[in-house]
Amino acid sequence: MLADLIAETVRSGVAQARTVTRYRDPLIGFARVDDPGFRHLRATNPGHWLPADLLAGARSVVAYFVPFAPEVVEANSQRPLRVAREWALAYVETNALLVRLADSLIQRLAERGVRAAAEAPTHNFDPVSLASGWSHKSVAVIAGLGSFGLHQMVITDSGCAGRFGSVVTDAPLPIVEAVARQRCRYLDAGSCLECIHACPASALSVSGAMDKQACWTWLQQVAREFEALGTADVCGKCSTGPCALSSAV
């Protein structure tokens, strides 16, 4: 079955990743291209692509989450105003891994007569509005992998510390309707504000609004510090709280 092939490709790709960064087992989900979540994305962000914009004749979308190992989270939680080198490296290495995973999926599906396409794992956003043309996080939610938290990160059953990727295909895939549930402690019961307190850019608020420009300014500063690693415009402080490694609820 194609679903088994996809899962095996993602899992083996992560298990065999030749990276300094270590990972936990990836999560994989599927969504139909006619899922209303995609139209909702287009309604809230007119610049967001639909699956058919990536691949004519698209029928299904594959989403996957590659969670960081606990030591990556632990390293980044040590100093409030200093992003850990381990976290910056994880961002750079995992973005490259996500490209390799997408390429492997596209190739292996092509061998079975299935067309597939993928968008870059990051830096595919409008430089002014900072809105993404294809949000892998939002696609993951549509595919049932998790739910957005107060920090605007997606919290999965394996937490939010990690990276998301997705691939669009023209093949039908088995869709398991996920039961929507809240994984954020604050949105569930108002019992946690750790992500807001951890944000060094003061970009988060209890209203759920995010000051993208403040966040982006801080990320550019971090990128300059770690430019020797590659493009490391990343922080992750909001992803080191109780929802880092598992669902908080």
Q: CATH code at 224?
A: 3.40.109
Q: What percent of the chain has pLDDT over 90?
A: 90
Please report, for residues 10, 141, 185, 234, 242, the alpha-carbon distance to residue 29 in angstroms, rounded to integers and kept in the order given: 11, 9, 23, 25, 23
Per-residue model confidence (pLDDT) at position 248: 74
Q: Is residue 45 part of a domain?
A: yes
In a domain, 165, yes or no: yes
Say if 216 falls within a structural domain.
Answer: yes
Say what the pLDDT of residue 125 is: 86
Q: What's the domain range around 232? A: 2-239
| Whole-number Å distance between alpha carbons of 167 and 183 | 25
Q: What is the pLDDT of residues 179-237, one digit of tens each?
A: 778 999 999 999 899 999 999 999 999 998 999 999 999 999 999 999 999 999 999 99
- Is residue 246 in some structural domain? no
Query: Residue 40: inside a domain, yes or no?
Result: yes
Residue 150 domain flag: yes
CA distances from 248 to 48, 139, 185, 227 (A): 29, 21, 6, 33
* pLDDT tens-place string over residues 9-49: 999 999 999 999 999 999 999 999 999 999 999 999 999 99
* Domain annotation covers residue 125: yes
Question: Per the domain annotation, does 211 fall within a domain?
Answer: yes
Q: Provide the domain count of the chain.
A: 1
Asked if residues 99 and 245 have their Cβ atoms less than 8 Å apart, the reply is no
